[in-house]
Amino acid sequence: MQRRQFLKVGMLGAAVGLTGASALWLSQGNDPTQLNIAVLLAKLNKLTMLSTEQLAGLSTGKWNSAEVFTHCAQSVEFSMSGFPEHKSALFKQTVGALAFTAFVTKGAMSHNLAEPIPAAPELDRSVDVNQALARLIQSLKDFQQYKTDLAPHFAYGELNKADYELAHVLHFYNHQQNFNLMS
């Protein structure tokens, strides 16, 4: 009887501890009212007011600003046309699904900010930053108007339009962490 009581108390304590840690981790995400394409487009449209030099200087990461905009545009475009390469079905149903659920729950994504989409065309450092930004803006507008079935995500699997919208916004906001002027 005492062992059973000890196990119950121990499991309860562990559950409380995990819940507290999870709550702390989850509280560090983005404002849910900011997690839609309309808000993202408004932010991106403000960037079009910057000079080419300011825009080019936004990214402090491994990729320059044009590469970041192009990479994010590729992701949006592939959600409509199909990703060139996929993780295994097992990966998408386990690790991928869990990762996406964690990102949605937290309201923030975390991934390698210099990892290209598998088999996507190589990012070109010399692409004009204004053209790359315009491509991202257009891809998001196209996504908003898109009415047919979306392609499975290469890592997360099947996503509905609302989930894909959230994925695209969280993806850009994650890359925005390497920007020195955006809020």
User: DSSP assignment of 95-119, as one string?
Assistant: IIHHHHHHHHHHT-----TTPPPTT
Exposed, middle or buried by CB within 10 Å (0-12, 13-18, 19+), for 112?
exposed
* 79: CB partners within 8 A, 6+ apart: 143, 150, 151, 153, 159, 164, 167, 168
Whether 130 is in a domain gets the answer: yes
How many domains does the chain contain in total? 2
Residues 98 and 144 in one domain: yes
Q: What are the phi and psi torsion angles at 151 (to 5°)? A: -75, 150
Polymer length in residues for the chain: 183
pLDDT at 2: 58
Inform me whether the pLDDT recorded for 7 exceeds 50: no
Query: Given a cut of 80, is residue 23 above it in pLDDT?
Result: no
The domain of 4 spans: 1-30
Same domain, 138 and 70: yes
pTM: 0.83
pLDDT beyond 50 at 19 = no
Residue 181 lies in a domain: no
